[in-house]
C-alpha cells in the first residue's frame, strides 16, 4: 500500500508564524492545478511507486481554496493513473473560512472523507496576531457545518505555548476542542522560524517571546487532559479517539511509500527520497516542458536507519529492536543501547518489551534525543 500527497501552494493570507511554501498571489492557481494534473501523468509513467493507494492527502498551503472543477480534475487524474483502494482515507486540509455547505458537498462528491481543519486557536485575539483568515466564531461553526454535512472524520490543528497565553487560556482552547466531539486533534508548539513576520515582531518587542518551559507545561497539560478523557496519544503531536488515528500520517512514520505532487512536495519509495522545486513559476514551466523538476537522493542504509530512529521515536510504539536487527543488523542495537543510556538515566527514555520509547517528560525533547541516537 502507498500514499499520495498533493501540495497546493496558495493561501489567502500569510500567517505570521508560517514558513511553508505558499503564495498569497493567486494568479498562477489555475495553471498550477493543470501542472499538478500533468505531473501525475509524468510521475505515473516513471512508476516511482507501484502499490495501490490507500491514503490521499491534499495539503498546503490551503487546498480548500480549490473550486469544484479544479478538485475534480485532480481526482480524475489520480484515478486515471493510480489504483485507489475502495476505502481509502482521503483528507483535505481546510481552513475554517473556506468551509460552507456548498464546498462540503463538492468535497464529498470527489471522495474526500476526512478534513484536517487549521483552527490553531478558538480565541479571537490569538487569531488576529497570527494573521489568520478566520474568526473565532468560524472556528467553531465550521466543525458543526462539516458534521451536519456528514463528514465526521475531522482533525483539528491547535497551537500551544503562544506568546503571553496563560495555561488558563490554553485550557479554554482544549475544552472547546473537546466540546466539538471531533475524533482527532493535532497540537503543535508554536515555533518561531527565522524570516517569518513573527520572528521580526518578537525582535522588535511588539510581541512577547515564547519560552520552552511554558510550552512544555502546556504540552503536559494537554496530554493529561486528553488521556484522562479516553484519548490515545499515538504520536508526539497527535491524539485520537480509539481507532481514529490519521492513516496517512501513521504511514509516514511506518515508512510506507508515498508520491508527492506539486511544488515542494516530497516522495519516498524505500530506496530514494525526492522533492520538487519549491518555486511556483519554475515548477509550472518545467512541467509545461514535460520535465519533472525534482532532486533525488538515494538513501544509504545508515540514512534509512536514522530515519527509522527519528520517526519511530515520536510514536507511542517507539523504536523496536527486532525491526533494527532484521533490517539493519544486530550490532546497531548494541550501539543504540549505549547511546540511549544517559537518557534512560535522566528519565527521558524507558525500555519496552522490544525496544525503547520516550517517557512522558521525554516527549517534549524528542528531536534532540533522536539526533543524539543517530548512527
Interface positions with ligand SF4 (CB under 6 A): 11, 14-15, 18, 20, 22, 60-62, 95, 118
Closest CA to 360 of 219, 173, 240: 219
Least separation in angstroms between CB 13 and ligand SF4: 7
- Tell me phi and psi for residue 77, to 5 degrees: -65, -45
Cis bond before residue 21 (omega within 30° of 0) = no
Least separation in angstroms between CB 51 and ligand SF4: 29
Least separation in angstroms between CB 10 and ligand SF4: 8
- Could you write out the DSSP letters of every residue in 271-283? SEEEEE-S-HHHH
Least separation in angstroms between CB 122 and ligand SF4: 16
Closest CA to 93 of 110, 70, 71, 115: 115
Q: Please report which helix (H) or strand (E) contains residue 105, including its range.
A: helix 101-109
Q: Please identify, using beta-carbon distances, which residue of 276 and 312 lies nearer to ligand SF4.
A: 276
Q: Please identify, using beta-carbon distances, which residue of 14 and 140 lies nearer to ligand SF4.
A: 14
Least separation in angstroms between CB 196 and ligand SF4: 10
CA angle 258, 272, 322 (to 5 degrees): 80
Q: Please identify, using beta-carbon distances, which residue of 1 and 197 lies nearer to ligand SF4.
A: 197
Q: Say how many CA atoms lie within 13 Å of 209 toward its Cβ.
A: 5
* Sheet with 84-94, side-by-side order of all strands: 232-235, 238-240, 184-189, 154-160, 114-120, 84-94, 53-60, 2-8, 257-261, 266-268, 272-276, 294-298
Rg (CA), the chain: 21
Judged by phi (left if over 0) then psi (alpha if -120 to 50, else beta), residue 131 lies in left
Q: Please identify, using beta-carbon distances, which residue of 89 and 157 lies nearer to ligand SF4.
A: 157
Closest CA to 300 of 323, 330, 270: 270
Least separation in angstroms between CB 119 and ligand SF4: 11
Least separation in angstroms between CB 117 and ligand SF4: 11
Q: Please identify, using beta-carbon distances, which residue of 65 and 221 lies nearer to ligand SF4.
A: 65
Q: Please identify, using beta-carbon distances, which residue of 3 and 61 lies nearer to ligand SF4.
A: 61
Closest CA to 356 of 113, 181, 150, 366: 366
Least separation in angstroms between CB 132 and ligand SF4: 7
Amino acid at each position: 500500500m502507498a500514499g499520495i500527497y498533493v501540495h497546493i501552494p496558495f493561501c489567502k493570507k500569510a500567517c505570521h508564524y508560517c514558513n511553508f511554501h505558499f503564495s498569497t498571489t493567486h494568479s498562477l492557481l489555475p495553471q498550477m492545478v493543470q501542472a499538478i494534473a500533468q505531473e501525475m501523468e509524468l510521475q505515473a509513467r516513471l512508476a516511482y511507486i507501484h502499490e495501490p493507494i490507500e491514503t490521499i492527502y491534499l495539503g498546503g498551503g490551503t487546498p480548500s481554496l480549490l473550486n469544484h472543477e479544479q478538485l475534480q480534475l485532480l481526482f480524475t487524474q489520480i484515478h486515471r493513473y493510480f489504483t485507489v483502494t475502495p476505502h481509502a482515507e482521503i483528507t483535505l486540509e481546510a481552513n475554517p473560512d473556506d468551509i460552507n455547505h456548498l464546498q462540503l458537498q463538492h468535497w464529498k462528491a470527489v471522495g474526500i472523507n476526512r478534513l484536517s481543519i487549521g483552527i490553531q486557536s478558538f480565541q479571537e485575539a490569538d487569531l488576529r496576531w497570527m494573521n489568520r483568515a478566520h474568526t473565532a466564531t468560524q472556528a467553531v461553526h465550521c466543525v458543526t457545518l462539516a458534521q451536519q454535512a456528514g463528514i465526521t472524520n475531522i482533525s483539528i490543528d491547535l497551537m500551544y505555548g503562544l506568546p503571553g497565553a496563560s495555561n488558563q487560556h490554553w485550557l479554554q482552547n482544549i475544552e472547546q476542542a473537546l466540546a466539538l466531539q471531533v475524533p482527532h486533534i493535532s497540537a503543535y508548539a508554536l515555533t518561531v522560524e527565522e524570516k517569518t513576520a513573527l520572528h521580526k515582531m518578537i525582535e522588535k518587542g511588539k510581541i512577547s517571546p515564547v519560552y520552552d518551559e511554558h510550552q512544555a507545561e502546556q504540552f503536559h497539560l494537554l496530554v493529561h487532559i486528553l488521556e484522562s478523557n479516553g484519548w490515545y496519544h499515538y504520536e508526539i503531536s497527535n491524539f485520537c479517539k480509539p481507532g481514529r488515528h490519521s492513516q496517512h500520517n501513521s504511514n509516514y512514520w511506518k515508512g510506507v511509500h508515498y508520491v508527492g505532487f506539486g511544488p515542494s512536495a516530497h516522495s519516498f519509495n524505500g530506496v530514494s527520497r525526492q522533492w520538487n522545486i519549491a518555486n511556483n513559476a519554475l515548477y509550472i514551466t518545467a512541467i509545461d516542458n514535460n520535465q519533472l523538476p525534482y532532486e533525488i537522493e538515494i538513501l544509504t542504509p545508515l540514512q534509512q536507519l536514522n530515519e527509522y530512529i527519528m520517526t519511530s521515536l515520536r510514536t507511542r510504539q517507539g523504536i523496536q529492536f527486532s525491526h533494527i536487527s532484521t533490517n539493519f543488523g544486530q550490532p546497531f542495537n548494541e550501539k543504540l543501547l549505549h547511546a540511549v543510556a544517559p537518557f534512560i538515566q535522566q528519565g527521558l527514555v524507558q525500555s519496552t518489551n522490544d525496544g525503547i520509547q520516550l517517557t512522558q517528560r521525554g516527549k517534549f525533547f524528542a528531536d534532540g534525543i533522536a539526533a543524539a541516537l543517530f548512527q
